[in-house]
Amino acid sequence: MEKTGLLVSFVVTALFVYSCSCMARVAASSPNVTDQKSVLLAFKARMTLDSDNILANNWISESSFCNWIGVSCDNFGRRITVLNLSSMGIVGTIEPQLSNLSFLTVLDLSNNNFQGHLPYELGHLHRLKVLNLGQNQLEGVIPASLSECRELEALSLSNNKLSGVVPTELGTLTKLRLLSLAGNILTGTIPPSIGNLSFLETFDLSSNNLEGSIPNELGNLLSLKELIFFENHLTGSIPSSIFDISSLKGIWLANNSISGSLPMDIGRLLPNLVYLDLGGNQLSGGIPSSGCQCSKLRYLSLSKNKFTGALPEEIGNLSSLEGLYLRYNSFTGMIPPSVGNLSNLLVLELEHNNMMGVIPEEVGRLQNLQILSLSFNNFMGSVSEQILNISSLQVISFTHNLLSGYVPTTLGLLVPNLKELYLDTNNLSGPIPNSISNASQLRAVDMGNNFFTGPVPTSLGNLQNLRILNIGDNQLTNHATRSGEITFLTTLTSCRNLEYLIIGENQLNGILPNSIANLSNSLQIFMGDMCQIKGGIPEEVGNLSNLITFEFFGNEIGETIPSTIGRLGKLQRLDLRYNSIQGSIPNDLCSLVRLGELNLEGNKLSGQIPKCMGNLSDLYRLNIGFNLLTSEIPSSLWALKSLLVLNLTHNSLHGNLPLELGNLNSLEELDLSWNQLIGSIPYTIGNLQRLNHLSLSRNQLHGSIPQPLGNLISLESMDLSYNSLSGEIPTSLEKLLLLNCLNLSYNRLQGEIPNGGPFANFTVQSFLGNEALCGVSKDHQIPACAKPRTNSHQLEHVLLIVLAFAFITFLVSCSLLVKYGMKQAHAPLEVDPSAPATHKTITYKEILQATTNFHGANILEVYKATLTDGMIVAVKVLNLQLEGTLESFRAECRVLLNVRHRNLVKLITTCSNYNFRALVMQFMPNGSLEKWLYSDNHSLDLLQRINIMRDVALALEYLHHHYSEPVVHCDLKPSNVLLDEELVAHVGDFGIAKILATDKSAVQTQTLGSIGYIAPEYGSEGKASTSSDVYSYGIMLMEIFTRKKPTDTMFAGELSLKQWVKASLPNAVMDIVDTDLLNRSENDMMVIQHGLSSIMELALDCSRESPDQRINMKQVVVRLTEIKTQFVNHGNA
């Protein structure tokens, strides 16, 4: 540190003067002149580099060594007392012979490149007062023999590569004033013996690997001024004795694992304290008000700890304070207005806490303030005009708060030194002031994720130093022009240093101008997703030679991909999914040799997949699904060994899957579904042991399921449905213990279904539409395997008997039904005519018996019933007295009788007459998700909640995208999600569901869903669409992980569940989630925090105000699956 170096220089100078005036006391013992010269010449000879040849030209035998550079002698010119070769660019080793210079009082070889070990013989220099070997490349241990240098006053071995422990023997150097061993790789503990050094003023052990606690004995160092232990692995609390050293001016203990709290009377105990840096530890409790008595304190850092409580009002008494760093804690309350008294304050950092309230106007009095960072808190109110009058400000960071209102129109007028402005993720509205361009020094402007409206100011182009511009996720528009071009992009061509440009999720509704070719050559990130961009991508984009990310998904971009994109040699991410791009995939993309992610999903691309894509060796994600591609899959793709995701779904690709598929051994997701692939599944697929998700459904694959699929031990989902696979299901699949989603339906499989491993959890839905499967399933709906027959004639005989019995039973049933119908003519009963013949037939009488005369209903008129065949079902009886009941009944029948998905409640049959309507459904023994969420007797862990919400997402994805006509549920909420015995979620209650015509995206309705969950356009305009369900899903996603209903009393005012969640991201999310999710180790908590932040971001993307800005359920499933995969992978690590 700077202070340590100054003290060393002072000591060296003082002792040098002292040594020059020293008289020889023992002439007889003085070393021979020739011997001293030979020692120095031998020392020079061992130097491998003398950068300026100073010693080579000066240290020559013909001259007196007392005249050599760096050498000083006593007054008689006989004995060398000082050897100072600091900062001379010397490379060499320190020789043991230096110990023969027995009259040395100063040895300073610092700031060179000396290597090797410290000689043990240095301990023979008994007259040595200063030993400075810092800033070299010395290795090995610190020799304990140095303790024999009893006259030492300054010992610095800092910034070397010394290892081992701090020698206990150093505690015998009682005259030591400076001890610096910083910047090495020392281990072990701090020796308590150091407490004996009563004259010690500076003690520096920073940047080592020391462990254990700080010895209580250090409290004996009553002359200590600087205690510097930062960047070690120290634990325990700070000894109270340390705070008794009233001479202390600086304490640096940052970046350890020290715990405990600050003493209540710290201000009284340390009146001379100037620097206090305790950041990056595990300290807790509050800031004692007495700490505000340290009137000399200039630097206070408590960042990255666990401090809580409000800031003391007395903090304004720290009149000398220049830097206040309290970020990454859990401070609450408001900023004390007394902060305005800190007239010398240069830096105020309070980000990443739980502080709230309005930013006090008194902050505007801090006229020397340079950095003001209040990000990631819950501050409310508007941006104060007084703050924007502090002319010295260089950084303003208000990211992730609850600030609202307009930004003052004076923005930029009175802050000439402002370099960075961060206002993103608040609730700010109104236009972006044109005056911002007056802050001409601005390098970063981040105003994303707010509610700014109006045209993007063209004056932004006047910010010549701008490097970062983020205005994404607002409601900004484009200046209307006849050409339809996005005009402000042209003005930004004046910003020659621009590196990051984010404009997405606005309402720009324009065309990319050709002038983007003139944007900064430094541009690396260009993102414009979901902002209604039309037209094509200008060919001039190829001029942006340093571009790393080009992301414009979810727009209305048409035409073709320009070949000039191939000139973007540094491009690593190209994301153009969900546009209307036509034509073929240009071969020019193969020139992007650094490309890691290529996403062209959901366009109208046709033709072939370029064979040259095999050249993209860094590619880890390739997604070109949902296009019109018709070629074979080029063999070169199977050589991309870095691929993690390969998604070619929903095209018309044909040909065989080759053995080379097994080369992709890094692959985690493979989706080739909905194509026209033929042939068999290659056995080499078993090499893909990192695979999490496999889908080959909806192809023309045949042959057997390969046994090596059992090697895919990471597999979570596998879909091979709708092919022509035959043979038996291999028992090797029982080894797939993570497999939770399996679909083998609609193939030609036969034989016994395995019952080990994950198969115990699969229902009949996984095996529908095969030829002759049998076995045991979770829902008992798969026929049991018959015992082997010994004779074909016996089989024919039994078959005839069964057919005859079935025919007789049919005749008897018909006669009984006719008879029973005549007796009940006053109340004719019928199976609902909409029910297909394959559904079970049940009468009113059977329902009456099965429900024990409708006994034991819950509040929703749903009864548990046991049918005569032993099947347990749920009977939902509708109240015909309520208006709209018949419409509800018809809607639910229309949906449930035709859909088929494992995550939808299965309708077994219906029963109705003129005054009775009932739905007979699959019984869910674990009840509703709402019950599990809010009951004290039930609890769901994080993975269970993720699984449940993924089940719900899969159900909605099926209804919105894979059913013949899109179905809108219209009333998604936890009470309408039911859980089976394995806590698999099933979406139910389609009483107000709407089926959309294939040519319509929305439908008018007068029936509304539940308050708190309904989308804005649904509630205000009565427009129901799939986007309405996505909104409800987003609200429900927040509820599941916070355990807060959107109608909770805390959201009765202006604050909503969505605003509350939005304000917590990304680093305060742990403060809002259900506390039942927090009982984990600290390492787990980091993963959980990351996962929960991703979930809440997904929820917010689902619940955007505008339906057009919401993602769809396909995207939800992908993102939630990725989150789950990361969590499961960590759990298995």
Please name which of 121, 131, 138 lies closest in space to residue 83, comparing C-alpha atoms: 131
Within 443-486, residue ranges assigned H as helices are none
- Is there a single domain that holds both residue 801 and residue 876? no
pLDDT bucket at 896, cuts 50 / 70 / 90: low
In a domain, 176, yes or no: yes
- Is there a single domain that holds both residue 918 and residue 935? no
Does pLDDT of 631 surpass 70? Answer: yes
Does pLDDT of 330 surpass 60? Answer: yes
Report the pLDDT averaged over residues 672-682. Answer: 95
pLDDT in tens, 145-166: 999 999 999 999 999 999 999 9
pLDDT in tens, 436-456: 999 999 999 999 999 999 999
Does pLDDT of 862 surpass 80? Answer: no
The predicted structure's pLDDT at residue 888: 58
Does pLDDT of 1086 surpass 80? Answer: no
- Is there a single domain that holds both residue 937 and residue 900? no
Q: Where are the beta strands (DSSP E) in 627-687?
A: 628-629, 645-647, 654-656, 669-671, 676-678
- Indicate the residue type of 379: F
Considering the chain, what percentage of its residues have pLDDT values greater than 70?
85
723-739: b (≥16 Cβ within 10 Å) or e: bebeeebebbbbbbebb
- Is there a single domain that holds both residue 952 and residue 864? no
pLDDT bucket at 848, cuts 50 / 70 / 90: confident
- Is there a single domain that holds both residue 837 and residue 954? no
- Is there a single domain that holds both residue 901 and residue 848? yes
User: Which residues make Cβ contacts (< 8 Å) with residue 4, sequence separation at least 6?
Assistant: 156, 158, 178, 180, 182, 202, 204, 226, 228
- Indicate the residue type of 316: G
Contact 488, 515 (CB under 8 A): no
pLDDT in tens, 656-674: 999 999 999 999 999 999 9
The predicted structure's pLDDT at residue 1000: 45
In a domain, 535, yes or no: no
Does pLDDT of 805 surpass 50? Answer: no
Please name which of 835, 913, 924, 926 lies closest in space to residue 877, comparing C-alpha atoms: 913
Q: Which residue has the tokens 């405990």?
A: 260
The predicted structure's pLDDT at residue 656: 94
Does pLDDT of 882 surpass 70? Answer: no
Integer-rounded Cα radius of gyration of the chain: 38
Question: Could you tell me the CATH number of the domain that includes residue 124?
Answer: 3.80.10.10
In a domain, 435, yes or no: no
pLDDT bucket at 90, cuts 50 / 70 / 90: very high
- Is there a single domain that holds both residue 102 and residue 124? yes
Instruction: Report residue 337 as tokens.
Output: 């207005």
pLDDT in tens, 346-397: 999 999 999 999 999 999 999 999 999 999 999 999 999 999 999 999 999 9
Question: Could you tell me the CATH number of the domain that includes residue 949?
Answer: 1.10.510.10
Report the pLDDT averaged over residues 640-667. Answer: 94
Q: How many contiguous H segments (helices) and E segments (strands) does the chain have?
A: 15, 61
* Residue that is last in its domain, among 241, 258, 275: 258
Instruction: List Cα–Cα distances, 633 to 593, 611, 656, 661, in angstroms.
Output: 20, 8, 8, 11
Cα(508)–Cα(780) distance, integer angstroms? 56
User: Which residues make Cβ contacts (< 8 Å) with residue 942, sequence separation at least 6?
Assistant: 1077, 1088, 1091, 1092, 1127
Contact 321, 338 (CB under 8 A): no
In a domain, 765, yes or no: no
The predicted structure's pLDDT at residue 808: 42
**Is 35 designated active site?**
no
Catalytic residue (choose from 575, 951, 971, 980): 971
- Is there a single domain that holds both residue 936 and residue 1056? yes
In a domain, 232, yes or no: yes
Does pLDDT of 1018 surpass 70? Answer: no
Q: Which of 76-80, 120-124, 481-485, 840-844 has the lowest mean pLDDT?
A: 840-844
Contact 379, 401 (CB under 8 A): yes
Does pLDDT of 643 surpass 90? Answer: yes
In a domain, 536, yes or no: no
In a domain, 390, yes or no: no
Does pLDDT of 991 surpass 60? Answer: no
The predicted structure's pLDDT at residue 841: 62
pLDDT in tens, 170-206: 999 999 999 999 999 999 999 999 999 999 999 999 9
Considering the chain, what percentage of its residues have pLDDT values greater than 90?
64
Does pLDDT of 915 surpass 80? Answer: no
Please name which of 839, 958, 955 lies closest in space to residue 907, comparing C-alpha atoms: 839
Report the pLDDT averaged over residues 429-434. Answer: 95
In a domain, 76, yes or no: yes
Domain of residue 45, residue span? 1-258
Q: pTM of whole model > 0.85?
A: no
Cα(768)–Cα(745) distance, integer angstroms? 5
- Is there a single domain that holds both residue 1040 and residue 1105? yes
User: Which residues make Cβ contacts (< 8 Å) with residue 187, sequence separation at least 6?
Assistant: 163, 164, 165, 208, 209, 210, 211
Instruction: List Cα–Cα distances, 835 to 252, 830, 832, 841, 911, in angstroms.
Output: 77, 11, 6, 9, 10
- Is there a single domain that holds both residue 73 and residue 182? yes
3-state secondary structure of 1071: helix
The predicted structure's pLDDT at residue 1082: 46
pLDDT bucket at 26, cuts 50 / 70 / 90: very low
- Is there a single domain that holds both residue 820 and residue 858? no
The predicted structure's pLDDT at residue 992: 52
* Residue that is last in its domain, among 217, 232, 258: 258
> In Å, how far from its chain's centre is CA 879?
48
- Number of compact structural domains in the chain: 4
User: Which residues make Cβ contacts (< 8 Å) with residue 135, sequence separation at least 6?
Assistant: 110, 111, 112, 158, 159, 160
The predicted structure's pLDDT at residue 49: 77
Q: What is the chain's mean pLDDT, rounded?
A: 85
- Is there a single domain that holds both residue 979 and residue 1037? yes
Does pLDDT of 464 surpass 80? Answer: yes
The predicted structure's pLDDT at residue 861: 63
